[in-house]
Structure 1
Amino acid sequence: MTNASAQTSAGSTSASDPNYERRWLVLVIVAVTQLMIVLDATIVNIALPQAQADLAITDGNRTWVVTAYALAFGALLLLGGRLSDYWGRRRSFVVGMSGFAVASAVGGLAQESWQLFVARAGQGIFAALLVPAALAILTVTFTDPKERAKAFGVFGAIAGGGAAVGLLLGGVLTEYLSWRWCLLVNVPVAVIAVVAAIVVVKESKADGDTRYDLPGAVLVALGLGSLVYGFTRAEHGWGSVSAVSFIAIGLALVVAFGYVEARSDNPLLPLSVLFHRDRGPAFFASMMVGAILVGATLFLTFYFQIVLQYSPIMAGLASMPITAGIFVTAGIASALLPRFGPKPLMSVGPVIAAVGLLLLTRIGVDSSYWASVFPALILVGLGLGLLIIPQQNVALIGVADHDAGAASALVNATMQVGGALGAAIFTSVYTSGKQTFLTDNPAPTPPATMPSPAASMKQVPSDQELAAMPESMRDFVLASVDRIFQAEVNAYHTVFAIAAVFIALISPVVVLVVRAKKDDLPAGDVVVHAG
């Protein structure tokens, strides 16, 4: 009787799901896709200093390599989810992957900074179509609860560990090949994935109303873009006309987006998902986490490679304690969440992360990594891991079934948008802080025998080069290098201090607003893909 029942169940599953017989091959394709997307969020971080030097990107503009990707991804992710459901999941996957490969090739071959920025934005646009399609294919393919749990476990493990792999792979490719291969590596992977999807994956679409909320998509994309650009203009002064104007326009467009969504029959973002006593703080937390993971930690790469003179591989390894900390407390949080509920974890985690960020305000030009940097990064990771797991679960509390996809996508979108806004804000803070330090600490007077002091300061001279210099020139060069490095570190201190405030703000919001108990948590798997 059991065997007959199982066969009947399997037969009905196979009939309702055209991908059932090839479901494990589908999982491999989706897993490779997820790995590529997650890698791309961090792989360029390590390559950025070399890309900046190669393409003559200014300090104020270099974070656009990260911001352009995160902003396009986050702003269009909700629309990408709708498109993949209505247009066809396999078709969306193939188009998204193909476009991602083309954008990666353009970025890897870029000869001007604007070409790299446009390519990164292109990656974000196609990732916003690709990632929801991949997750939707996985969802409709694995309908058996046990098999779905295994599939989502693989998906989640890649989402969690891919960032660390990206840092290491970025270091290896940058050091032994070129920073360009951090982008070009996507091309062969994408070609294989597209061919496999065409051969293996069968098409599927959502039923029902298939209208698109294009006005909402345009308003939110333009609004977020204006906000981010306004914050980048703040490097010229927080009261500058351009900064205030773009920020004001961005806020107005976001408000207009809310107005449109409230009156739309088929909204891109149902406002009931966002404006909820428990879910609202979860989305706020997601945005702050994105600001830290994408925006603030980017400056660790600059500190390691510019100030401490680490190689790309060493910089990648030096950044990994954050990921290790997240892994440790993510497991602990998963075990504690059913016992204590989300509020205690979401209240304590941000405080621990904030302490770690504050410890980073004590780093110096000659700081010991193990004594000064490592403990701080571990605390940041431990705190974020304690926060992320309950935050992702709270984001789905009380969400109706037909809005579950929008709520899950919103977690990812807020994290990406938070990363874009964080990178813009922190870059403005960094640029203004560095300039203030250099203004308050004038450059040393060059010796009369030094014909071109500016030319000698393009990079840190080697010990052999210093030994060959006259003593007066050597003293001048060392003093100049120390001044520049002190300016860098002083600016990093300000960035990490503000980042600590950002993440710490989560705790009072959670304490005062969140009411969710352990029994309120959604049943089943919560899958949130990092990007």
Structure 2
Amino acid sequence: MSITSTDAAASGAGRRKPGLALLVIVLSQFMVGLDATVVNIALPEIRADLNFSATSLAWVSSSYTLAFGGLLLLGGRLGDILGRRNIFIAGLVLFGAASLLGGLADSSEMLLVWRVVQGVGAAMAAPNSLALIASNFEDGPEKNKAYGAVAGSYAASLALGLLLGGLLTSQGSWRWVMYINVPFALLVLVLAPMFVVESERHPGKFDITGTILSAGFMTSLVYGLLHAAEHGWGNAETMGPIGGSVVLLIAFLIVESKAEQPLLPLDLLTSRNRTGGYFSLVGLVATMAAMNFFVSLYLQDGLDFSPMETGFAFLPLAAAILMAGAQAAKLLGKVGPKPVILAGAVLIGGGMLWMSLVSDSTTYATGVLGPILLFGSGAGLAMTALSGVILSDVSGKNAGSAASVLEVFQWIGFTLGISILATVFGSASRDAIADDPSDAKHALVEGMGAAFTAALAFVLIAFLIALFAIKPAAPPAEAAAPVDEAKPDEAEAAV
């Protein structure tokens, strides 16, 4: 059975409200992305209020990241078996409650506990919100529009998190960066049962061994990458977890290949288009992490922007992503995903190249605004098209798994980009400081230039994967055949 709008008809005809269903899904993706960045600007206040040490403060962000990344595959599989809307709503309840209790935390330990619970809730909600697109939107322009809105909202939330973080901490306190999730969660919880159509359930067994191995793999990998971003690659605490993650990944793939009902159906990776989409996504999300992190650093430390001014400076990026995502939804039905992905990668590369030319005299107007508009336009195009490539024509029983794998690759790309490019930045900055210890801004500029130049490698890899792995769109007559009924070659072409 392929994912089509027939699922919607089977489970809620007459109540289908695609506009309101899209609002629910967009808000949930926005919350998950927002929580990855909104806390960062509040970290100094959190440290002072709850007496975090300098080393433990990083866990305010990392605890959420590790829990979310480690449980994504399980979250998708739970939705396939128990109903995607059910798990989506349960995840939002957990996420909203943890946000409220985290805001009320009176100790560093309690805040970290609730950040972990937030990550668990996000791991349940995020992949199932993506998978619910299948049962709530008609194939064609309607579904393409949904992909564009969801991809754009997630990408824009990473930038808007900086704005909201600055506003909330300057006008209120750090606790509001936690409370901000509560009204979003409540709104989604009211609307979801009314307007989001439940998908067909696919009863089965839970793959306990696969769950343990996948959680261990993602936790080890993300921990190692986060540690590399702060302390570099040449130490046991970085390379040990990364090496362990490789061993756990191999064990996970062996177990999944033999499992009767695997956590990750390996046939999801047999489609040339889908696998190419996953790996292209890693490269492009890695550059997005660099854009958010290093531009924010430059605006505050190089141009003396306040946290609030920094947030407003990112608004053009968010607007460009959303507008380009809307255009991508229209283009997908006309030219197919491949040209849209390639065009997006070229624009992203152009933004990276322009940012790599940053100098001591660069201002926001002369050297930041243009690159982020170019980058945002490319990100909106490419992310929308990649979502379509990855999630289209997956059998109904595997939709949650396909969406959770998308989230996994996205999260790996984000942490990989930060860890590698932060290392490049640090090395170039230290060299500049050694040459002239009195010029901190020049060291910052040198580090940024090196990091953005290195980011071009991620863009190039993503472009080449899309160019050679993703097939051009099939003619309409061929594309109409669902995956479950088409021959293997035809099914790949239809993605």
TM-score range, shorter chain: 0.7 to 0.9
Larger gyration radius, structure 1 or structure 2: 1
- Per the alignment, residue 347 of structure 2 pairs with 352
Structure 1 counterpart of 2:241, from 217, 240, 246: 246
Judged with a 3 Å threshold, the aligned counterparts in structure 2 of structure 1 residues 132 and 399 are, in CA distance, closer, same or farther, namely closer
Local SS of the residue matching 1:286: helix
Alignment of 1:226-245 (within 5 A): 226-234=220-228, 235-245=230-240
Alignment of 1:265-280 (within 5 A): 265-280=260-275
Is contact 1:46-1:316 (8 Å) kept? no
TM-score (structure 1 length as normaliser): 0.74
Is contact 2:103-2:175 (8 Å) kept? yes
Local SS of the residue matching 2:261: coil
- Give the whole-Å Cα distance in 2 for the aligned partners of 1:431 and 1:61: 21
Is contact 1:231-1:243 (8 Å) kept? yes
Alignment of 1:162-177 (within 5 A): 162-163=157-158, 165-177=160-172
- Per the alignment, residue 288 of structure 2 pairs with 293
One-letter code of the match for 2:452?
F
- Give the whole-Å Cα distance in 2 for the aligned partners of 1:308 and 1:441: 19
TM-score (structure 2 length as normaliser): 0.79
- Give the whole-Å Cα distance in 2 for the aligned partners of 1:150 and 1:496: 31
Identity of aligned residues (%): 34
Local SS of the residue matching 2:206: coil
Deviations 1:425-451, CA, capped at 9 Å, x for gaps: 334444454445445544xxxxxxxxx
Structure 1 counterpart of 2:211, from 210, 217, 231: 217
Structure 2 counterpart of 1:260, from 255, 259, 270: 255
Per-residue deviation at 1:211?
0.9
Per-residue deviation at 1:345?
3.3
- Per the alignment, residue 469 of structure 1 pairs with none
Judged with a 3 Å threshold, the aligned counterparts in structure 2 of structure 1 residues 496 and 120 are, in CA distance, closer, same or farther, namely farther
Check if 1:181 corresponds to 2:137.
Answer: no
| Greater shift in the superposed pair: 424-433 or 490-499 | 424-433
Per-residue deviation at 1:256?
1.4
Judged with a 3 Å threshold, the aligned counterparts in structure 2 of structure 1 residues 179 and 148 are, in CA distance, closer, same or farther, namely same
Check if 1:376 corresponds to 2:371.
Answer: yes
Deviations 1:174-228, CA, capped at 9 Å, x for gaps: 2211233111222354356557768x68996854432112222221221122222
Per-residue deviation at 1:308?
1.8
- Give the whole-Å Cα distance in 1 for the aligned partners of 2:28 and 2:122: 10
- Per the alignment, residue 489 of structure 2 pairs with none
Per-residue deviation at 1:369?
0.6
Alignment of 1:12-31 (within 5 A): 16-17=11-12, 20=15
Is contact 1:226-1:250 (8 Å) kept? yes
Check if 1:321 corresponds to 2:321.
Answer: no
Deviations 1:337-358, CA, capped at 9 Å, x for gaps: 4444333333343233123113
- Give the whole-Å Cα distance in 1 for the aligned partners of 2:143 and 2:468: 34
Judged with a 3 Å threshold, the aligned counterparts in structure 2 of structure 1 residues 421 and 123 are, in CA distance, closer, same or farther, namely farther
One-letter code of the match for 1:495?
A
One-letter code of the match for 1:212?
F
- Per the alignment, residue 100 of structure 1 pairs with 95
One-letter code of the match for 2:328?
A
Structure 2 unmatched runs, 5+: 1-7, 482-495
Check if 1:80 corresponds to 2:75.
Answer: yes
Per-residue deviation at 1:32?
4.7
Per-residue deviation at 1:289?
2.5
Judged with a 3 Å threshold, the aligned counterparts in structure 2 of structure 1 residues 69 and 161 are, in CA distance, closer, same or farther, namely same
Structure 2 counterpart of 1:418, from 409, 413, 423: 413
Is contact 2:148-2:325 (8 Å) kept? no
Per-residue deviation at 1:377?
1.1
Structure 1 unmatched runs, 5+: 1-12, 443-478, 525-531
- Per the alignment, residue 125 of structure 2 pairs with 130
Deviations 1:263-310, CA, capped at 9 Å, x for gaps: 112112222212432222210111223222235422222222233221
Deviations 1:393-446, CA, capped at 9 Å, x for gaps: 22246644433442233223311222133233334444454445445544xxxx
- Per the alignment, residue 469 of structure 2 pairs with 513
Per-residue deviation at 1:249?
0.9
| Greater shift in the superposed pair: 422-431 or 106-115 | 106-115
Judged with a 3 Å threshold, the aligned counterparts in structure 2 of structure 1 residues 263 and 347 are, in CA distance, closer, same or farther, namely same
- Give the whole-Å Cα distance in 1 for the aligned partners of 2:353 and 2:203: 50
- Give the whole-Å Cα distance in 2 for the aligned partners of 1:304 and 1:348: 28
One-letter code of the match for 2:217?
G
One-letter code of the match for 2:415?
A
Check if 1:492 corresponds to 2:487.
Answer: no
Deviations 1:52-71, CA, capped at 9 Å, x for gaps: 67678789887655554344
| Greater shift in the superposed pair: 120-129 or 390-399 | 390-399
Aligned pair count? 472
| Greater shift in the superposed pair: 397-406 or 25-34 | 25-34
Judged with a 3 Å threshold, the aligned counterparts in structure 2 of structure 1 residues 302 and 147 are, in CA distance, closer, same or farther, namely closer
- Per the alignment, residue 389 of structure 1 pairs with 384
Is contact 2:149-2:322 (8 Å) kept? no
